[in-house]
Chain A
Amino acid sequence: MASHAVRPPGSRRLRRSARPRRRRGRLAGPVLGVLIALLLAVALWVGAELRDAQAAADDRQAATRAAGTYAVHLLSVGHRAVDADIGRVLAASTGRARAEYAGTAAELRRTTVAGRLLRAGALRASALVWLRGDTARVMVVGDEVIRREGSSDAPRERFHRWNMEVTRTGPTWLVSLVEPVS
């Protein structure tokens, strides 16, 4: 009873209201811990999904670009640097595409040098048809102008449509199949 007498007025109410606050303080730690664990799990899941989606987008872009670059190399062979030009085409290809081009390279070299030909290629468009794992199919449109150095003949223009297959070879994408679309 005496203690009641010395307690300042309103102190009981204060102590009562401090209790839930203390309880809340005790709860905050575990709640935040669970929240962090949940957020970490979501971050890991979203991160994995994002990594896969970004890798697929990068692959689509790289495969399409590889086919476009190959087309320009294919159409840009001139007598001035014929070996380097042919080498560029071979370096950008693999498998059947490389074997077929290599098979015709000697004849191409001969006619290009003998005719003093200059072929200039331009990429008009390249588009992805599908991408499955390490292989992609790309549609390519390219134009070329062929002229004979020193000749007054009008240059010839040719238009090309191809379906190309591109294969991931190590870190790069190389053209593995070239099908002209007639």
Chain B
Amino acid sequence: MTGASRLAIALMAAVALALSGVVWIMYADLSRLRADERAAREALATARAVAADMLSYDHRTIEQDFARAGGYTTGALRLHYKELAGGVAAQARREKAVQQAAVTGAGVESASGRAGRVEVLLFMNISTVKILKGGKEPHRETSRNRARFIMIQKDSRWLVAEISTLLGDPPPP
């Protein structure tokens, strides 16, 4: 083998190595983008499916309702749900309250597949029927809400880690 052909082979090897590097970097980037898309799709579907269940209850089955809702949560929200169940349950039974939530829209604010974190915006209409203190007839009210669900992926399952009502400080004049 001559010196020139040795040099040509060394150059070709260097080109192949550099190309491998470029392909690897591009593939990693593509995988990240696809993971973000997949995370957004999955978390959105989960949030849409569980949101109504999480915010609905019937005074006759409130313990089961909250226990089921707690199963969709993780972290601090799970603890918060347990505390909430204790407080709300007594009042709901007293008022014979039935709350029904309906999701009227859902979209993705941000998604990171690698971090396993997706922010989902939900439009919800919540109707509540209850008997107010001193009243006999059921009182019905409907509120139009917006909520941000922060979804976290745990063991390939999407769970709700935070719920925000998106109420902030009023905008400055």
Q: Do A and B come from one complex?
A: yes
Chain A residues within 8 Å of B, Cβ to Cβ: 22, 25-26, 28-29, 32-33, 35-36, 39-40, 42-43, 46-47, 49-50, 53-54, 56-57, 64, 75, 118, 120-122, 124-129, 137-139, 141, 143-145, 147, 155, 157, 159, 161, 163, 181-182
Q: Interface extent on B, as a size class?
A: 35 or more
**A143 in contact with B106 given A29-B8, A57-B33 (CB within 8 Å):** no
B51 within 8 A of A: no
**A42 in contact with B146 given A139-B121, A145-B170 (CB within 8 Å):** no
Q: Which residues of A contact B105 (CB under 8 A)?
A: 129, 139, 161, 163, 181
> Which positions 27-73 of chain B face chain A at CB distance < 8 Å?
27, 29-30, 33-34, 36-37
- Nearest Cβ in chain A — how far from B10, in angstroms? 10
Q: Which residues of A contact B171 (CB under 8 A)?
A: 75, 120-122, 143-145
B168 within 8 A of A: yes
Q: Which residues of B contact A22 (CB under 8 A)?
A: 1
Contact A29 B9 (CB under 8 A): yes
Q: How far is the CA of A44 from the CA of B172 in the complex (A)?
A: 51
Stretch at the interface among B16-24, B86-94, B127-135, B153-161: B16-24
Q: Which residues of A contact B106 (CB under 8 A)?
A: 127, 129, 139
**A161 in contact with B170 given A53-B33, A125-B121 (CB within 8 Å):** no
Contact A141 B27 (CB under 8 A): no
Q: Which residues of B contact A137 (CB under 8 A)?
A: 107
- Per CB-CB distance, the 6 closest pairs between chain A and chain B, nearest first, are A127-B107, A122-B171, A127-B121, A32-B12, A39-B19, A25-B1
Contact B166 A46 (CB under 8 A): no
The listed residue (B6, B16, B36, B146) touching A124 by CB distance below 8 A is: B146
B117 within 8 A of A: no
Q: How far is the CA of A54 from the CA of B15 in the complex (A)?
A: 26
Contact B34 A127 (CB under 8 A): no
Q: How far is the CA of A143 from the CA of B166 in the complex (A)?
A: 10
Q: Which residues of B contact A118 (CB under 8 A)?
A: 173
Contact B109 A125 (CB under 8 A): yes
Q: How far is the CA of A127 from the CA of B170 in the complex (A)?
A: 21
Closest A residue, CB atoms, query B1: A25
Q: Which residues of A contact B30 (CB under 8 A)?
A: 46, 49-50, 53
B97 within 8 A of A: no
Q: How far is the CA of A122 from the CA of B166 in the complex (A)?
A: 11
Q: Which residues of A contact B23 (CB under 8 A)?
A: 39, 42-43, 46
The listed residue (A47, A120, A124, A141) touching B26 by CB distance below 8 A is: A47
